[in-house]
Every structure is written in C-alpha cells, then in structure tokens.
Structure 1
Amino acid sequence: MVFSSLFFLYLFLPLCLLAYWLAPKIEYKNNVLILFSLVFYAWGEPLWVLLLVFSATANYLFGLLIEKYRGKAGAKTALVSSLVLNLGLLFLFKYSAFTAENINALFSIHLPVPNIRLPIGISFYTFQTISYVVDCYWEKIRAQRSYSKFLLYVSMFPQLVAGPIVRYSTIEPELSKRYATAHDISEGLTRIMIGLGKKVILSNHLSTIVDAFFTGDLDHVSVLGTWYAVAVYAMQIYFDFSGYSDMAIGLGRLFGFHFDENFRHPFLCKDITEFWQRWHISLGTFFRDYLLYIPIFGKRRAYGGLFLVWFCTGLWHGASWNYIIWGLYFGIFICFERLLGKKRIKQIPVAVRHIYSKIVIVIGFGIFYFEKLPQLGQFFKNLIGVGGNGFIDEFTKLSVANNLYLLIGAVICCFPVVETLEKLAKKSEGRQLAFGVLQAVCNGVLLVTSSILLVDATNNPFLYFRF
C-alpha cells in the first residue's frame, strides 16, 4: 500500500484515524496503530510481514538481554548476535544475488544466484532496530520492556517502508504518553498535502520528461539534453523522496508523534558537505553516529572512516555497482572539502560555490540513475559531447517549451516557500489569519488536484520503496 493512492487517502487512513480517536486509552491507541500498520505492510507484502514481526521480536529480546547483563560479557554477546542477525538478513535479501554474480564473474565459476524478492522497507526498519540495540548497549536508552510498544516503534506505518529512519530515543516518551493537539493536526494535514503534491503533481510528471530522454538508447541524446534530463531527474528524486518524508512526518503528527526532519531544501546548499547535511538526514546521521568513528585496523582513522561511510551509503541504496560508485563519488568531494577546510571554502565566492555544488550533485544523480555500467559510460560521454550527438537538438527545445510551467514550479518549490510565508505571517495577527485561510485553501487544492491525477494512476509507488 502506498500513501499516494486513493485507497489509502479515502479509506485506509480515515478508518485508522477513526479507530484511533475512538480508542479511550493510550494502550488501545497503540494497538490500533499496530494492527493498521501490519495490515498496511501485509497489503503488499503478505509473507514478509512475518519477517518484520520476527525482526522486531528478536531485537526486543536482544535489548532485554543487554539490559539484564549490563557491563558483562552477556551484553556484548547480545549486541553481536543482534548485528549478525540484522545485517545477515539484510545481506541475504538484498545483497546475496549481487555477491554471487560478482564472484561468478571474478572467478569464472557458477555459484547459484539466489532469486529472492526484496522485502519492502527492510533497509529502513533494519537500521532502526540496529540503532535501538546499539543505543541500549551504549546506555543512551533503557531497553523497552513492553513488547507492544517496541513492535509499534518498528512497524509504525507512516515511516515503515521508506523512512525517515526514526531513532527510538526520538519517540520513546510518545510511545507511552502523547497528545495530538489542534496545532499538530493542522500541521500534520498540511505536511501530508504538501508531500502528496510533491509526489503526484511534481515528481510523477517530471519522471515522464526523464523517461523520454533516458529510457532506451542514449546515443541520440544531445549534450544539453543530457544535462537537462539529469537536472530534471535530480528534482524528481527530491520531490519523490522528500514528498514521502513530508507525508510520513505529517501522518506521525496526526497520531501525536514528532519525527525529525529528513530534508531541509538540499538544493540551497553551497557545497557538498552542506548538501548531505540537508539531504536524507536520518541516513546521514545514522552512518555518522554508528559507523564513522569506529576503529579501523585498531585505530580511528578519519579518512578511512569517511571511505567506509560513503561506500556503505552507496551500497545501502542498492545491490548495484553504480550505487557504490555514487557513494564513493560524493565521498571524494566530502574528503576534498574537508582537506580544503571551512575557512578556505568560505573565501570562495558564493556564486562559484553554488555552481560547483549543483554540477557535482546533478552528475551524481546521473550515476544514481544508470544501473548498467555501459549506459553510465554513455551518459558521461554525452555530458561532454563525445560521440557526435550535437550540443542541442529539437527534442530538447520542444520538451523545455512544453514543460516550462512545470519546470518553473519545480524550481520554485525547491526553495522554502512555505517557511518564508509562515515567518511573514507571524508578524501580526491579521497576517496569521490570512495565512491560515491561504493554507486551508492550498491544502484543499492540493488534495483535489492530486486526487484527480490519481484516478487513472494504476501504480504509483515512491522510488525509495525499492531501497
């Protein structure tokens, strides 16, 4: 089941909210959320919901064992067992086929290649359970003794299948006591409508432009057409993934949960380090906190840690070499900026920094798009005009002309428009009232427009479901 579907918007969510608000106690409300979350996941993954429950149960027990044997060998044994189980399951379902294929290619042997369907959301809920167990071991949190509360933490449908990666410490108090105020409901509905609009109105239509240029043979795509299409793809990915995060955060607010932000207008960055402080924040902070500073060969090595983080960042996104290249590509620029130093970077004119960062980001999303290495090689050739495709072609001109308003709207929405209007509204009560009315009208327009566009949509998944 996906958020951007009429079934979810007009049946599943209203029924869930009704049952939740009718439940008299927090324990009953939690049980309602667990039930609907398991139904939500089982709707598309009827078998793998058992894997989700197994993972939650095992890590719940590991947390209790760590608490019981605190300061003893048993706690470390529980931690190691949890990591082996979690990473082992992730490897089995996500990377076993990739590993077998590469071993076969490297050594000219014929290992059987597993054909296992990837459970939706396994990368997200596995990282949540890992962060929980590690934080228990590091004594940052106490182990949760209520199984139902822990199962709710792992299975909560707003963030289950595509993030953000929610830390247990972020919502621990709200598992036992929370209130959805009128402000929470208002803000939650607004975030849901914004996220829905990002996905249905912007991302889905931007994807048709990208498909027109990048589906099939790339030999016919001109230099400008390649740059144009990959820039559009960068915006498509942003609106798709940030749209899901907006909806997840908004849905959480309706139930009284406050998730951390996952995107902060990343295209406003002036360098690559800042880009990754604004993009997929929950993943970046996960690797920073749990991987960056671990000892490598017995010592903490700054650049070795960075290499490991960016290798894993790429690999996390998929079992394909282009994702690994993508991660290391950004890692190289992060290392370069760290070597250069913040003071030197700030001395570079802001305009130059913006141009540099956008070129690096756009090329990076090209690496992200092409999973087949021959196509990726052709993409790089097209960027610099190798192959005689010409600088510009009529198809590119026609695409820009036909989609001009969509492109302008997409660029504008990369900026903090809502936040700016909100700040201006706070200066007087009259402005606040006007902003509230405008917000309600815009929410209605986004819902109606998105609903109309979804009528003929047969399948409307978010791109990050596959990760």
Structure 2
Amino acid sequence: MLFPSISFLYFFLPVTFLLYYIAPVKKSAPGSANRAPMRYRNLVLLAASFFFYFWGEPKYCLLMAVTIFLTYIGGLLLEKFGRKKYLLLLFSGILLSFLFWFKYLEFFTSIVNRVSGGSLPLYHLALPIGISFYTFQALSYLADVYSGRARAEQNLPDFAMYICLFPQLIAGPIVRYQTLQEEIKTRSHSSEQTSDGIKRFLIGLSKKLLLADSFGLLIDMLEKNGEQSVLGLWLIAVSYTLQIYFDFSGYSDMAIGLGLMLGFHFPKNFDYPYISRSITEFWRRWHMTLGGFFRDYVYIPMGGSRVSFPRWTFNMLTVWALSGLWHGAGINFLLWGLFYGMLLFLEKCGVKKILEKIPSVFQHFYTMFFVVLGFALFRQEDLGRLTEMFLRMLGFSADPMEAVSLYSTEALYQLKSFSVLLLIGAVGSTPLPRRTARKLSSAGWLSAALSWMYYPALLLLSTAWIISGSFQAFLYFRF
C-alpha cells in the first residue's frame, strides 16, 4: 500500500486512526506529563502495520516476521549472556544473509560468471519492499543491545511494532530503538501535535505528487524524444536531482507527520541538502539516518579517523562503497558511492579549506555541480551509455567525427514549458518557504485563514493527481 493512494488516504488511514483512538488506554501515572501506557493501541498499530505490508507485499510478510522474531531473540540472548560478540555476529549474519539473497545474489553471481566465464544460474528474485530499511533498523538494535546503548525489549508485540511500524516501514527514516523506546511504552497525544502531524504529512504528500512526479514527467518527455543535446542532458540531470529530493524528503515528511499523529517523534532525515557549501556538508544534510548508521555501526568500529592515513583512506572508501551498494545492486551504485568517497577524501585533504576562502556562491556551485553529476551516475545503469552521457554533458562525443549540439528545439521548448516548475523546485529545496510560513504565522487571524485554505487545497490537488493516474512509484522503494 502506498501513501499517495486513495486506498491509504481514504480507507486505511481513517480506519486505523479510528481503531487506534477508541482502543482503551490506562490512566497516566501522576507526574507522567500525560504520557499513558499504550498496550492496546500498540496492538492496533502492529495489526495495521502487518495489514499495510501484506496489502502490497503478501508473499514477503513471513520474511519480515522471521526478521522480527530472530532480532527479538538475538537481543534477549545478547543481554542474558553478557553481550557475547559471537551472538552479535551470528544474528547479524543471518539478517544480512536475507538481504544478500534477495538484493545482491544475482548481481554478484553475474560478476562471477563474467569474470570466470562460468554459467552459474541467475535467480531473478523480486526485492521485498523496505527490506534494506527494516534490516538496517534490526541491525542497529542488535548493535545497540550488544554495546549497552539500549536494553533488550522483553515484549515481543512492542518490539515487532518498532520494526514494522507502517509510517517508516517502507523507506525510513531508519529509527534507532533508543529513540522510540520510551514512546513505545508511554506517549502523549495533543491536538496541537496531531495538527502539526497532519500539516507535515500533507506537505510531504504534495512534495511527492505535485513536484517530484512533475519532474518525472519532464524527464520522461525529454528521454522519449531521445534528447542528446548538452542543454537537454543537463536539464534531465537537474530535473532528476530535484525529483529524487522531493520524492524522498516527501516520503520522510509523510512518515514524520504520521508519527506525530500517533505520538511518535521520528528523527529528521533531510535538512535542506541543496544549500550546502561542500560535499561534506551535503552528506550531513542528506539521508541523515543512513549516514548516521554507517558512521556509528561501520566507520567508527573500523577505527574511524583515529588510525594511520592509509587505514583511514581504506575505512572511508569502504564505507562509501557499502553506502553505494546499499542503494542498489549495480556497478553504477558502487561507483556512485566511491565517487562521493573520493570527493570527501579530497575535501578532508585540503580542498575544503580552499573552498572556505572563496565566495559562498562558488561554494554552492561547486557542491551542486558534483551533486548533479553524482545523481546522473546514480541513475544510469548502462556504463557505456553513462560515459557517452558525461561526454555530451561537457560538449564532447565518443565519436570525434560527431558534433554535439548545444541545445535542441525540444530541450528549449521543455525548458520554457517547465521553467515555473524548475523555479518552484529550486526555491522549494531551500528554507525560504518555511521561513515565509513562520513569518505569516505571526499574522494572527490571517495566518489561521490561510492555513485553513492552504492545507485542504494541498489534499484536494494531491487527490486529483492520484485520480488522474499521473502518480509514479517512490524512487527509493527499489532500494
């Protein structure tokens, strides 16, 4: 089931919230700041989350249930037997084997066949939706119990709800157990928090449907006509850069908004990455929960930066190679990770100090130039086509006898037709709209009137977009 669907918005969500709020709640203890035990409401959320997943991925519900149970048992054993390392490796290895089987087996088998000339069978397995996210969430739980950062959860239904909670099940944020541990047991609800959650959800919904999907349409039209001009290829690359931001940050906003409606506070996943002045800053702002996972559970355990220079270089490139492969089983994803690893390596070795001495506008240009190139690499699975595309974007061709067009009639037409959308996307990826909204919020009755018109309008426009059939699947669902 997808958030931007009639079945979710007008069936699943109302029924789930109705059952959730009529479920009995024990009275909160004195001095608990209105935080009440949530046993029955948690059971409602657990049932709703399994139904949500079963709706879209029925054949892999058992896999998710097995992952939950093994992680639960692993946590109990780690705590009971003094956090033995072999237990951590055993249960983590089992979880990673599930991920490898479905996501990477075909990729690595094809590499072995290509290198050895063999003919090992390829298993074309469908990737279970959300497996990368809920597996990493389970791994972080085991690591935190092992290190003592978290206590093992004794209640299986509560733990199951933590892993498969429907707002963040499919595409994150990757939430650590200690972040939600207290709210799983007791949490508070208020009309103000629910209102903030609804607004956050509607903003995310409109970012996905009205912006990300519109950029997707622009890309489809350009590629349908075989665009090969310099302008056209840059227009595709810039549009995809905006599309993936509004697509993924839109999902994160919806997840955070749904969490607020249910009394949970999920961590922020995006912090306006396109205003960054360096690649280092960009990765502090982009997919923050994934970056935190690799930092705390891979990079630091490998020794981090407190090692020799060669070892540090190895650590950094290994982490970024793994980060690239997390996004998908393909050479392009591996190269994308290493691409950023090399840029970060260069910034650590002195490029960042040089950047800090030049005007900020050039820092932004430097960052976005490589971000756009990075997403062009991220998107293109055909390496032969990738090389040709990069050459053409720079005005060259693999064929020295072929002249590369700077622009085409189609590219100019689409640029003119979508210029307003591109402007909205550029401005919308900065904090400017949020700052403007905050200033308007101090306008009293005018702010309230605008709010009552603005958010229902977003819902109506988004619903109309869904009904029109223009909806495109979330880009991060395939990761």
For this structure pair, what is the TM-score category when the shorter chain's length is used for normalisation? over 0.9
CA–CA separation in structure 2 for the residues paired with 1:403 and 1:412 = 14
CA–CA separation in structure 2 for the residues paired with 1:352 and 1:458 = 37
Amino acid at match of 1:3: F
Retained in 1: the 8 A contact 2:237–2:375?
A: yes
CA–CA separation in structure 2 for the residues paired with 1:45 and 1:415 = 35
Tell me what 1:160 maps to.
169
Tell me what 2:464 maps to.
452
Tell me what 1:393 maps to.
408
CA–CA separation in structure 2 for the residues paired with 1:411 and 1:432 = 29
Give, in angstroms, the shift of residue 21 of structure 1. Answer: 0.5
Which of these residues, 388, 412, 419, is aligned with residue 404 of structure 1?
419
Tell me what 1:243 maps to.
250
* 1:355 lines up with 2:375 in the alignment: no
Name structure 2 gaps, 5 residues minimum. 26-37, 398-402
CA–CA separation in structure 1 for the residues paired with 2:388 and 2:147 = 48
Which of these residues, 154, 160, 181, is aligned with residue 151 of structure 1?
160
Summarize deviations over 1:29-54 as a string: whole Å, max 9, x none: 00110111001001111110110010
* 1:41 lines up with 2:53 in the alignment: yes
Name structure 1 gaps, 5 residues minimum. none
Retained in 2: the 8 A contact 1:421–1:435?
A: no
Cα 1:56–1:270 change in 2 (3 A) is same
Indicate the SS of the match to 2:58: coil
Tell me what 1:63 maps to.
75
Amino acid at match of 1:419: R
Give, in angstroms, the shift of residue 407 of structure 1. Answer: 1.6
CA–CA separation in structure 1 for the residues paired with 2:352 and 2:410 = 42
Amino acid at match of 1:13: L
Summarize deviations over 1:409-449 as a string: whole Å, max 9, x none: 211211123431354256x5xx2543343233211111001
Indicate the SS of the match to 1:109: coil
* 1:122 lines up with 2:137 in the alignment: no
- TM-score, normalized by length of structure 2? 0.92
Which of these residues, 351, 366, 369, is aligned with residue 376 of structure 2?
366
Tell me what 1:188 maps to.
197
Which of these residues, 276, 297, 301, is aligned with residue 269 of structure 1?
276
Retained in 2: the 8 A contact 1:322–1:371?
A: yes
Amino acid at match of 2:269: N
Give, in angstroms, the shift of residue 270 of structure 1. Answer: 0.6
Amino acid at match of 1:411: A
Which of these residues, 198, 203, 212, is aligned with residue 207 of structure 2?
198
Summarize deviations over 1:49-70 as a string: whole Å, max 9, x none: 1100100000000000011011
Q: How does 1:278-427 map to 2 (within 5 A)?
A: 278-295=285-302, 301-340=311-350, 343-387=353-397, 388-425=403-440
Retained in 2: the 8 A contact 1:266–1:275?
A: yes
Retained in 2: the 8 A contact 1:5–1:460?
A: no
Retained in 2: the 8 A contact 1:230–1:366?
A: yes
Tell me what 1:32 maps to.
44
CA–CA separation in structure 2 for the residues paired with 1:235 and 1:245 = 15
Give, in angstroms, the shift of residue 349 of structure 1. Answer: 1.8
Tell me what 2:6 maps to.
6
CA–CA separation in structure 1 for the residues paired with 2:111 and 2:249 = 33
User: RMSD of aligned C-alpha atoms?
Assistant: 1.8
Tell me what 2:185 maps to.
176
Retained in 2: the 8 A contact 1:241–1:462?
A: yes
Tell me what 1:257 maps to.
264
Cα 1:214–1:458 change in 2 (3 A) is closer
Retained in 1: the 8 A contact 2:209–2:471?
A: no
Give, in angstroms, the shift of residue 296 of structure 1. Answer: 7.1
Which of these residues, 74, 79, 90, is aligned with residue 81 of structure 1?
90
Cα 1:237–1:67 change in 2 (3 A) is same
Indicate the SS of the match to 1:47: helix
Cα 1:342–1:377 change in 2 (3 A) is closer
Give, in angstroms, the shift of residue 18 of structure 1. Answer: 0.5
Indicate the SS of the match to 1:48: helix
Give, in angstroms, the shift of residue 458 of structure 1. Answer: 7.2
Retained in 2: the 8 A contact 1:4–1:461?
A: no
Q: How does 1:436-447 map to 2 (within 5 A)?
A: 436-447=448-459
Tell me what 1:142 maps to.
151
CA–CA separation in structure 1 for the residues paired with 2:307 and 2:267 = 32
Give, in angstroms, the shift of residue 341 of structure 1. Answer: 6.5
Indicate the SS of the match to 1:113: coil
CA–CA separation in structure 2 for the residues paired with 1:341 and 1:365 = 21
CA–CA separation in structure 2 for the residues paired with 1:368 and 1:434 = 44
Indicate the SS of the match to 2:59: coil
Tell me what 2:32 maps to.
none
Retained in 1: the 8 A contact 2:427–2:433?
A: no
CA–CA separation in structure 1 for the residues paired with 2:77 and 2:376 = 45
Retained in 2: the 8 A contact 1:67–1:142?
A: yes
CA–CA separation in structure 2 for the residues paired with 1:83 and 1:168 = 16
Give, in angstroms, the shift of residue 78 of structure 1. Answer: 1.6
Aligned-pair identity in percent equals: 38
Amino acid at match of 1:133: L
Retained in 2: the 8 A contact 1:213–1:221?
A: no
Retained in 2: the 8 A contact 1:294–1:305?
A: no
Retained in 1: the 8 A contact 2:277–2:367?
A: yes
Indicate the SS of the match to 2:187: coil
- TM-score, normalized by length of structure 1? 0.95
Retained in 1: the 8 A contact 2:213–2:471?
A: no
Indicate the SS of the match to 2:196: helix
Indicate the SS of the match to 2:202: helix
Indicate the SS of the match to 2:168: coil
CA–CA separation in structure 2 for the residues paired with 1:335 and 1:10 = 48
Amino acid at match of 2:13: L
CA–CA separation in structure 1 for the residues paired with 2:463 and 2:411 = 30
